[in-house]
Structure 1
Amino acid sequence: MTVTEFPAGIRPAQHRTHDVVNQAPRRVDIDEYGTNQPLMEGVRQYGAAWHDRELHEIGALVGSEKFQSWAESAHTSPPELRTHDRYGNRVDEVDFHPAYHDVLGAAVRHGAHTSGWADPKPGGAVARAATFMLFAQIEPGHACPTSMAHAVVPVLQRDPEVGRDWLPGLLSRSYDPRMIAPGLKSGLMFGMGMTEKQGGSDVRANTTVAAPVLSDPDGRVHLLTGHKWFFSAPQSDAFLVLAQADAGLTCFLVPRVLPDGTRNTIGIQRLKNKLGNKSNASSEVEFDGTWAQRIGEPGRGVPTIIEMVNHTRLDCVLGTTAGMRQSLSEAVWHARHRRAFGARLTEQPAMTAVLADLALETEAATWTALRLAHAYEAGSGESEAMFRRLATAVSKYWICKRGPQHAYEALECLGGNGYTEDWPLARRYREQPLLAVWEGSGNVIALDVLRGIAKTPQSLDAFWAELEQTAGIHAVLDTHLRRVRQELSRDLRDPVAAQTRARATVEGMALALQSSLMLRHAPAPMAEAFIAARLGEGRGHHYGILPHGTDAAAIVERHAADSI
C-alpha cells in the first residue's frame, strides 16, 4: 500500500465548521414560578400567597436540568404492557421508565394531586392549581393520574361508606407504585373508565353489565362483565367506572388489587398508541367477573361521576394553560438569543408581534384558569358553584381549543429547530390536542353548556353577574357581550338553532370572560390589546395581528424575565 504524504505545510482543518454560534443555550435551571409574572400575580390575587415559598421551590425543581431530563426520558421510553409473567400467569402490569416515577413522585410530594382537599384553607384550591400547572408545564403525561386522584375526592366524600377506605391514601403525599393491597400502601392513585367502543361520549350506550353479589348484605358488591375502550392510567390503585345495573347506569369503584392482596380481574388488552402523551399509559381493558363496589345511588351513575368529570375539565384548562406557558417561554427564549438580519429576533417587529400575541393568549388563559380554581375553593358558596358549573365548560372548550394552534405558532418561532424532537415544542404540539379531546371534545362541551343553561338557569345568571364587574369600562367588550346575550336568548327559543350555533355561543362567552378578567387584572395596555385583537373590528385569524399602537415589546418583556 502506498501512502501519499501531504504537501509541505498543508494539513486538514480541525473541524472549523463545527463551531456553534448563534444558537440559543438550553433553557434550564430557571425558577418557572418566579419568572411567570401573571401566575405569581394570580396566586396572590386569589388568596394563595401563603404558598409562594413552596411554589418557588417547585418552580426551581421543574426548571432544573434534572427534571427536564426526567421528562424527556419518560417520553422517549414510553410504558410497556406486560400481560403475563415468565410462567404464563396473567399479571396485567405496566412497566414505566424510572423517570416517570420520579416525576409523578415529585408531583405527589408537593401535593399537585390532592393538597387542596387535604388542607382546605382559603386559597387551597388555587395553590394546588398553581402547583399542578408548574409540573404539567414541563412533563404533561403524569398530569392524567394526578388530575384523576384530585378529581375523585369529592365523589368519595359524598359516599363516606366507601370513601373512608380510600380517602386517607389519596390525601397522602406519599407516592407508592407497588401493586399490593391498598390497605398496605402509603399512598393511592385513581383512574377512570367511562367510554366504550360502541358509544364513546354517549356513555348511556354502555354495555358493561354489573351483576349483584347476592351474599353481600348491603347490595354494594357487583361483578362486572364488559369492555372499556379508554381506561386511563391502568397502573392506578382503583378506578371509577360506569356499568349497567338493575336500576340503570350506575357508578362503581373497581380496585386493582383486592383487600386480601388478590389481583382483581382487570385484563389489559393493549395500551393505546397515542399521538402524544407518550409517557402516560392509556389502555383498553376487559372485565370478566370483576369485583366492584357501587358508589353513589343505583341508577345515578352519570350524576355521580360528573363531579369527577367537572374537576378533570378544570385540570384540562390548567394543563393547556401550562402548555401555553412552556410554548411561549421556549419561543421567547429562542428569539432573545437568536440573531438574524443584523438584530436579535425579538428586535424584529414581525417576530415581536407574534410573541406578544402568544403572550396575550397565555396571560388570558392564566387569569381564567386561576379564577376558575378560585371558584372551587372549599365553602365558596352557591353563587360560585353556579358560576363554575357554566364557566368550567365554557373555558374548557375555548382554552383547550386554542392550545394546539398556540403550540404550533410557538414552534414556528424556532424554525426548523422547533420541528425536531430535540426541542420540547414538538412534544408539546402533539400534547395539546389531548386536552381538547379529553373529558369531552368540542361539540360535547358546547352542548353541555346548553344543557347546563336549560337545567340550571341560575348558572347563566351567575356567569353574567361575573361579567357585570367590568360593565361600562370598555365599549368594545360591552358591544360584544350585548350581542352574545341577545343571540343566545334568541337561539334558546329554537333548539335546532341553539345546537347549530353552540360553538359560536360558547366562543363568545369565553372571550367575554377572558376580556373581563384581563381588564380587571392584567396591565391596562395588555387588556386593551387583547380585547382589540380578539373582539375589535381589525382582529385577524392568526397570531401576530395586533391593533395599531400596541407596545408589543413591553408585552414580551413582561413574559421574558427568564430570557435576559
Structure 2
Amino acid sequence: MPVTLAKKDVATHEVVNQVPFLPDVNLYEGDAILRETVDREGGGWAEQDLAAFGAVCGSEATRELARQANRHLPELKTHDRRGERIDLVEYHPSYHELMRISFGAGVHSYAWNNKRPGAHVARAALSYLWNQAENGTACPTGMNYSAVPIIQQTAVIGETWAPALNSTAYDPRPIHISKKTGATIGMTLTEKQGGSDLRANTTRAVAVDGAGPGALYEITGHKWFCSAPMCDGFYTLAYTDRGPTCFIIPRILPDGSRNNFFIQRLKDKLGNRSNASSEVEFRNTLAYALSEEGRGIRAAVGMIHLTRLDFTLGSAAMMRHALTQALHHTSHRSAFQRRLIDQPLMRNVLADLAVDSEASTLLAFRVARACDEVQRGDEGARRFERIAVAIAKYWTCKRASAFIHEALECHGGNGFVEEHLMARLYREAPLNSIWEGSGNVIVLDVMRAFQREPDSIAAFLDEVKKAKNADHRLDKHIARLEQELSNLADFEHRGRHLVEMMVFALQGALLVQHSTPAVADAFCAARLDGRWGRAFGTLPPDVDMEAILSRARLAV
C-alpha cells in the first residue's frame, strides 16, 4: 500500500558549531610579532604603508579575488582565429586585479624605490603580507624584485628596463617596453635534460651585433620551465662559444612585432595555479646579453639569491596564515563539550606551530636586514648573508609543508575541501622548496660557500654568538655546531644535518634576544634540548602555552 507523506517543510538540521568566516583583519596592525620584527630590523619607517597594505591583504574582498584567480586558471592561446601565432596566456579578471593591487603597493619595487636603510626589510614585509593574500602573483613580484640589480649593471639595458620594472603601474598590454607604464620580467633557466644542473643546458646564442653586455644575440633552444610566460621580458641562460651567458629576451621588439618566443604548453601544476608556468622554445630569438660571455651562471646566482630570500618570506608568510586559520577555527569549534583550543592536545599542537611560525618569521627578516647591510657595503654582512639566505631558504621552505599539513589537520575534514583556503595553501606549500634549488642543491651551495669563502663560517658563528649566555641550552648547541663545522671533510654526507643545526642556532639566537621568555624557552627546550617528539604537538609540559598562544593571535 503506498505511503503518503505529510506536505510540510521539514528542516533536517540547524547549522550549529560551525566556524564563522574570518572577518576583515589588518594583517600588519593585528600581528604584534610582525610589527616588532619590522621595527627592530629597520623598516619601521614604512609603518603607514604597511598598515594600509595589511588592511587590503586581510580583507574578504582580496580573499575572494584570490579564490577566483585560483579557480579560473590561465589558458594558453597559441593561435588566433586566422591561424596566426600569438602565444598569449589569458587570465581571469581577478588575476589582473590582484596584480594591480600588488604592483600598486610596490611589493616588487619598494626596496629599489626607497633608497634608505631598512628598504629591503620594508619590502620584505610587503611580500610577507601579500603571500598571506595570494601566492601565485607573488611569483612575478619576486622576479621583478630580484632582476633589477643585474638589469642595472648593463647601462644600455637598465636605462630602459629598470624604470619600467620599478614602476607601480601594472600594464599587461603586449607592447614594446618603451611604450609601457610598467613592466614585468619572467625567468626561464632550466631545460629538460638538466634541471638544476645549468651547465647541462644546450640552448645556444650567436652574436648578431657586437659581443658582451648589451650586445644583441640570436638564441635557439628550449626551456622546460618558464615562470610567468605573460611577462614583457625573460631572464635566461644560453651558451656561446665561451660558455653560459645571461640574456634578457624582450617579448615585443622595437618595431612592435612579436619576438620568436613560442609557448609550447602550460604546466598542469600541483599548486601555484593562478600563475602560469610553461615550456618555451626559442628559434633565432633576439636577446640582449646581461653578462660577459661565459659568466652567466655567476650572474644568475645574483638574481637567484634574492628570489631565495623571497621564497623564504613566502613560506614564512604561508605558515603565519595557516596558523591564523588554525587559531580561528579552534577558537570557534567545539568537541566533547569544550572548544578545541582549550583541549590540552590541541593547545600543544597550536603552541608548537606558533613557536615554529615566529622562529621562521624572525629568521626571514634577519636575512632581509642583511640584504640592506650588504647594499651599504658591509663586508661582514655579505659573508653572513651568503650563508644565511641559503640555510633560511632550505629550512623554512621545507618546513612549510609539514607545518601547513598540521594546521590543515586542526580543521579536520573542513580543511580538506576546496571551499576552504587550507587546501590551496597545502598544494602551494611544496613549491618554494623546489623553486630556485631543492634541498640538496641548497645544501651543496652552502658547501661551496664554505669552500670558497671560509670566513663565512666565522661570520655566521659571530652572529649566533650575539646571544651568548642568554640560554645555556643555546650555548651548548652553538658549541656543538662549532665543533661540527671545524671539520668539513664529509660535508656532502652530513650536509643536511649541519644546515639544520645552523638554522636552529640562528633561530634560537634570534628568539632568546628578541621574543618573549615563553616562546624562547619553548624553542630551546624542544628544538635544542631534545625534549621534543617527532611531530608537532610534543612540547614539554612545563612551557607556558597560554603566553605563546596569546602572542600568536591576530588582533581582530
TM-score range, shorter chain: over 0.9
Q: Is the 8 Å Cα contact of residues 213 and 219 (structure 1) preserved in structure 2? A: no
Equivalent of residue 8 in structure 2, options 7, 12, 35: 12
Structure 1 residue 75 corresponds to structure 2 residue 102? no
**Separation in 1 of the partners of 2:154 and 2:540?**
53
The correspondence of residues 370-449 of structure 1 with structure 2, limited to 5 A, is: 370-377=365-372, 378-379=375-376, 381-449=378-446
How far 1:371 moved relative to its partner? 0.7
Q: 1:557 aligns with which of 546, 550, 556?
A: 550
Q: 2:508 aligns with which of 515, 521, 534?
A: 515
Letter in 2 for 1:430: R
**Can you list the C-alpha shifts for 1:486-512, whole angstroms capped at 9, x where unaligned?**
12222x1x2xx2101110110110111
How far, CA to CA, are the matches of 1:294 and 1:58 in structure 2? 37
Alignment of 1:462 onto 2:462? no
Please report how far the alpha carbon of residue 471 of structure 1 lies from its aligned counterpart in structure 2 after TM superposition.
1.5
Q: How many residues align?
A: 554
Query: Could you say what secondary structure the match of 2:430 adopts?
Result: helix
* Counterparts in 2 of 1:548 and 1:137: CA distance versus 1, 3 Å: same
Greater mean alpha carbon deviation, residues 321-330 or residues 466-475: 466-475
Shift of the alpha carbon at 1:248? 0.8
State the AA in 1 paired with 2:395.
Answer: W
1:343 alignment counterpart: 338
1:109-128, aligned counterparts within 5 Å?
Answer: 109-128=104-123
Alignment partner for residue 539 of structure 1, among 526, 529, 532? 532
SS in 2 for 1:151: helix
User: What is the alpha-carbon distance in structure 2 between the residues aligned to residue 195 and residue 224 of structure 1?
Assistant: 15
> Do 2:209 and 2:215's aligned partners in 1 also have CA atoms closer than 8 Å?
no
Whole-angstrom distance in 2 between the partners of 1:309 and 1:146: 14
| Cα drift, residue 531 of structure 1 | 1.4
Q: Deviations over 1:530-559 (max 9, x none)?
A: 111111122211101112311112211111
Which stretch of the first structure deviates more once superposed, 137-146 or 545-554? 545-554
Asked if structure 2 preserves the Cα contact closer than 8 Å seen for 1:141 and 1:280, the reply is yes
- Distance of 2:396 and 2:60 partners within structure 1: 29
| Matching residue within 521, 525, 549 for 1:528 | 521
Name 2:347's counterpart in structure 1. Answer: 352
**CA deviation map 1:148-183 (0-9, x unaligned):** 000001111222232111011011110001111111
Paired letter, 1:433: P
What is the CA RMSD across the aligned residues, in angstroms? Answer: 1.6
Pair 1:175 & 2:167 matched: no
One-letter amino acid of the counterpart of residue 12, structure 1: K
What secondary structure is seen at the aligned counterpart in 1 of 2:264? strand
Q: Say which is worse superposed, 215-224 or 300-309, in terms of deviation.
A: 215-224
Equivalent position to 2:232, from 225, 237, 261: 237
> Following the alignment from structure 1 to structure 2, what is the Cα–Cα distance between the partners of residues 327 and 464?
32
Secondary structure of the residue that 1:263 maps to in structure 2? coil
Which of 22, 25, 28 is the aligned partner of 1:33?
Answer: 28
Letter in 2 for 1:171: N
Q: Determine the structure 1 residue equivalent to 2:486.
A: 489
In the aligned structure 2, how far is the partner of 1:65 from the partner of 1:370? Answer: 27
Tell me which amino acid in the other structure corresponds to 2:81.
R
Partner AA of 2:494 in structure 1? R
The one-character-per-residue Cα deviations of 1:291-320 (angstroms, maximum 9, x if unpaired) are: 011112111001111111000000010000
Name the CA distance, whole Å, in 1 between partners of 2:338 and 2:48.
38
2:54 aligned residue (56, 59, 82) = 59
SS at match of 1:315: helix
Is the 8 Å Cα contact of residues 398 and 510 (structure 1) preserved in structure 2? yes
Deviations 1:235-287 (A, max 9, x none): 11111100001211111111111122111101000111111000001110000
Structure 2 equivalent of residue 46 of structure 1: 41
Once the two structures are superposed, residues 383-415 of structure 1 have per-residue CA deviations (whole angstroms, 9 ceiling, x without a partner) of 111111000001100111100000000000000
- Tell me, yes or no, if the aligned pair for 2:213 and 2:292 is still in contact at 8 Å: no
TM-score by length of 2: 0.97
Residue of structure 1 equivalent to 2:185: 190
Check if 1:209 corresponds to 2:204: yes
Written as runs of structure 1 = structure 2, the 5 A alignment for 1:247-262 is: 247-262=242-257
Residue identity matched to 1:337: H
C-alpha distance in 2 between matches for 1:533 and 1:262? 60
The residue type paired with residue 190 of structure 1 is I
Q: How many percent identity over aligned positions?
A: 45
Alpha-carbon spacing, 1:512–1:216, altered in 2? closer, same or farther (3 Å): closer
C-alpha distance in 2 between matches for 1:548 and 1:216: 66
How many angstroms does 1:199 deviate by? Answer: 0.5
Secondary structure of residue in 2 paired with 1:332: helix
Find out whether 1:329 has 2:329 as its counterpart: no
Output the amino acid matched with 2:24.
Answer: D
Give the conservation status (yes or no) of the 8 Å contact 1:276–1:427.
yes
Structure 2 counterpart of 1:283: 278
Q: Partner of 1:311 in structure 2?
A: 306
Preserved contact between residue 192 and residue 241 of structure 1 (Cα < 8 Å)? yes
Cross-structure match for 2:267? 272
Structure 2 unaligned spans of 5+:
none
- Supply the distance in 2 between the matched residues of 1:96 and 1:193 (Cα, whole angstroms): 20
Q: Which amino acid aligns with 1:537?
A: G
| Contact 2:213-2:291 within 8 A present in 1 as well | no
Go from structure 1 to structure 2 and tell me whether the alpha carbon gap of 1:528 and 1:217 turns closer, same or farther (over 3 Å shift).
closer
What secondary structure sits across from 2:131 in the alignment? helix
What is the CA-CA distance between 1:5 and the residue it aligns to?
7.5
| Corresponding letter in the other structure for 2:265 | R
Amino acid at match of 2:185: F
Tell me if structure 1 keeps the 8 A contact 2:246–2:300. Answer: yes
Amino acid at match of 2:313: L
3-state secondary structure, aligned to 2:132: helix
Alpha-carbon contact 1:310-1:392 (below 8 Å) kept: yes
Deviations 1:11-51 (CA, angstroms, capped at 9, x unpaired): 5343241x211111111311111121111101111121121
Aligned to 2:139: 144
Amino acid at match of 2:544: D
d(CA) in 1 for partners of 2:212 and 2:480? 58
Shift of 1:472: 2.2
Q: 1:480 aligns with which of 461, 469, 477?
A: 477
Q: Distance in 2 between matches of 1:115 and 1:167?
A: 13
